[in-house]
Amino acid sequence: MNDWTGSLSLDLEDRNGKTVAKRVYFQGAFKVMRPIYADDSGQVCYYLLNPGGGYLDGDRYKMQISADEGSKVTLTTQSATKIYKTPKSHAYQETEINLKKGSYLEYLPDPLIAYQHAHYKQKTVVHMEPGATLLYTDILTPGWSPSGERFSYDSIQLVTEIYWDGRLGVFDHLKLVPQQQKISGLGFMEGYTHLGSMIAISEQMDAALLDELYDAVMTVEADFTFGISDVAIPGFCLRIHANTTQTIERIINQCHAILSEKWNHRTPSSLRKY
């Protein structure tokens, strides 16, 4: 696909215990802020920006991230991803991530808000070498409309593929089309308004850690349901239904803290922007 509205390429490497960018390129309505180092661990954090404030009719965005051996990075967004009305052509984002052995990447974007009559498609493909670690999250809200009606967008489609040592290990396809589905019913939102997902892949994953994460989620006092399970490669998938973004963020942050301390030997810094 050509004629990208915005594109971004970021190649990372480890230099004497500090993760730095050996190549940064961006053009159009897609940018990355200067690197942030929250502590002396050498892990870098980058904020991804959409200067236009949201995705418009026919917008196309492409992001390519690579992390060399030993590099550690957190990627997040500046604010929620807003998808405005798309009367002619859907908005689209394509992301490709390549992780070398011993690399550690967290991709923790803010929630997605689809406005009334919005079409949005997203494809994320991750290639991992054994020994690499990935933490990836998504939060979907019920959208926004002038009348306050929920689920007034036309469609949201998220496709995630994770390859481990060249083999497809995770394929996650989420498609919500409110006008064609009983969006609040069984198998969809099941009476809730918000949906959160967390996929974590690492050779350090084991049954005891999965039990610990389950117990941690169970301590959260709020109205939500969730499921957590192994995937075909070393790791797990967590899915959460709730009625507020804050509830899902609390659960994800709690799991993130446990994983970061066990897999990365550090306490994660707050990414709060408001």
3-state SS string for the chain = CCCCCEEEEEEEEEECCEEEEEEEEEEECCEECCCECCCCCCCEEEEEECCCCCECCCCEEEEEEEECCCCEEEEEECCCEEECCCCCCCEEEEEEEEECCCCEEEECCCCEEEECCCEEEEEEEEEECCCCEEEEEEEECCCECCCCCCCCCCEEEEEEEEEECCEEEEEEEEEECCCCCCCCCCCCCCCCCEEEEEEEECCCCCHHHHHHHHHHHHCCCCCEEEEEEECCCCEEEEEEEECCHHHHHHHHHHHHHHHHHHHHCCCCCCCCCC
Domain presence at residue 146? yes
% of residues, the chain, pLDDT over 90: 92
User: Does residue 136 sit within a domain?
Assistant: yes
The answer, yes or no, to whether residue 271 has pLDDT greater than 80, is no
pLDDT band with cut points at 50, 70 and 90 for residue 268? confident
In a domain, 240, yes or no: yes
What total number of domains does the chain contain? 1
pLDDT confidence of residue 80:
94
Asked whether residue 222 is assigned to any structural domain, the reply reads: yes
Share of the chain above pLDDT 70, in %: 98
The answer to whether residue 82 scores a pLDDT higher than 70 is yes
- Domain membership of residue 195 (yes or no) is yes
Residue 201 covered by a domain: yes
Q: Which domain holds residue 66?
A: 60-72+82-263
**What average pLDDT does the segment 39-63 reach?**
94
Mean pLDDT of the chain: 95
Residue 197 has pLDDT above 70, yes or no: yes
Q: What is the pTM of this model?
A: 0.95
Say if 221 falls within a structural domain. Answer: yes
pLDDT in tens, 107-164: 999 999 999 999 999 999 999 999 999 999 999 999 999 999 999 999 999 999 999 9
